[in-house]
Amino acid sequence: MADQPASVSSLPDPALQMGAFESMQSELRVQTLTRPSLSYWQDAWQRLKANKRAILSLYIIIAMLLFTVFGPLVWRVDPAEQDLLQVSSAPGAERSAIIVAPYSAWDALEAPQIADAQDADAAAPASVPVNITDLQLAETATTQQVRLEWQPMAGAADYAVYRNLVEPTGPGTFGLPLGTTGSKETRRYEDLLDLRPGPLYYSVVAMDALGHELPQSKTLRVNVANAITLDEAADRQLIKPGETRELGSQVNFALHPMGTDYLGRDMLALLMQGARVSLFIGIAAPMLFVLFGIVYGSMAGFIGGRTDQLMMRFADFVVALPFLLFMILFKIAFGIGPGESGIIPLIVAMVVLLWPATARLVRGQILQVREEAYVNAARLLGAKTGYLVLRHMIPNTMGVILVTLTFAIPSAIFTEAFLSFIGMGVAAPTASWGSMSNDGIKSMVTHPHELFFPALMISITVLAFNLLGDGLRDALDAKMRSRE
């Protein structure tokens, strides 16, 4: 009996087949979209972008470079220009001054002969106020002069005058000795010594005939106002030529967003100039000694054998050399005297002494890469040594080289800052963050901004490069990718 033909319902449905085919295509498309093909460097960039700290550090470094290169084009202030009216001025300090008359000698430096407080009205001349308190100002205190007068003190043969920035708490804490009046009859004193706006504490102490201080003393808190004469304001272009101002009117000084240093130089302009020096040393020196370390380590690792051992023992010898001693020797060899900037000796010392660490890392990578199959295949095909090193070995060590360079830059910046801080690197008038910190620490208590800003720039830059180096190390490490 002949076989019956298959029923129509048992045949595959063309629509179902088409749907299954489209479903398979969609699944393959999803797999293709979710698993893109990336090169080694593309994958490293994706991993680096996922590290928020590293990306933030990269942005900080870019901002620092823009601050260094383009900052002086925006803030056009000469870092060597001195604003003597705003010496050691802090950020946000008072920028105004009152117009005063030109200085004239104090006519009556001799105080009236007053026997005691009871007969003061009878003994004092009419031109002298008779209601003299213990210690008071003869006139408004300004940065031009501070004039004091006081009553006689019992047993005094002379008077010593002191000045302090903080309120004295007793004998021995009066502060800077300004001088003596010379006699018990002279009970006035005029202070002209380096006056700056702000509060000052003046103390007058009685002295006996032998020059010993007595327990009698008086202290007065004085608010010194910033002052300038009309001619000085015109010379410094604070007012228009030929413009007249009334005494007591105000003028505004130049703006210094980060204050000024002890010479009246703009801190923002100095930081920009210092960034150029510090970053030049911090980037140029590592690039040179890392490059030398790459060449040296590649040669040692590729040649191998006794040559490798001899070359690495020489690297060990260089590591043992004292950096500071050679820095001194290089300064002498280059004829750099005391107080002169030793930028070139500093770079030479880094290049000569800091390459062994890079050479060791590159040598280890070369020893590993030279045993790979593709290197042996290239060697069998007749590739020369230079081709093998430049085409296969060094490109496969670029990850280690980049990480090493990223960590070497902050180390070089810190080395320059340290040497400049101790007076062995960059010296005034050349500005660097290290030399600015060296200058700022001398007035750290009274003017902390002179130390704070350069130290902050060093800290931010070093931290940013270190965090970026950590991110690059994680992104370029093949072992970490395999663990994921």
- According to the model, what pLDDT value does residue 462 have? 92
User: pLDDT tens digit string along 162-188?
Assistant: 999 999 988 889 999 999 998 888 899
Q: Is the pLDDT of residue 476 over 90?
A: no
What is residue 95's three-state secondary structure? coil
Q: Regarding the domain with residue range 96-227, which homologous superfamily does it belong to in the CATH classification?
A: Immunoglobulins (2.60.40.10)
How far is Cα 210 from Cα 244, in angstroms, rounded to an integer? Answer: 52
Parallel, antiparallel or unpaired: strands 188-191 and 198-207? unpaired
Structure tokens at 308: 């490798």
Mean pLDDT of the chain: 82
| DSSP conformation letters of 130-163 | S---SEEESS--BSS-EEEEE---TT-SEEEEEE
The domains of the chain are located at 60-76+263-483, 96-227
User: pLDDT tens digit string along 355-393?
Assistant: 999 999 989 888 888 888 888 888 888 888 778 877 777
Q: Is the pLDDT of residue 28 over 90?
A: no
Structure tokens at 264: 């009246």
Which class is domain 60-76+263-483? Answer: mainly alpha
- Determine the residue type at 349: A
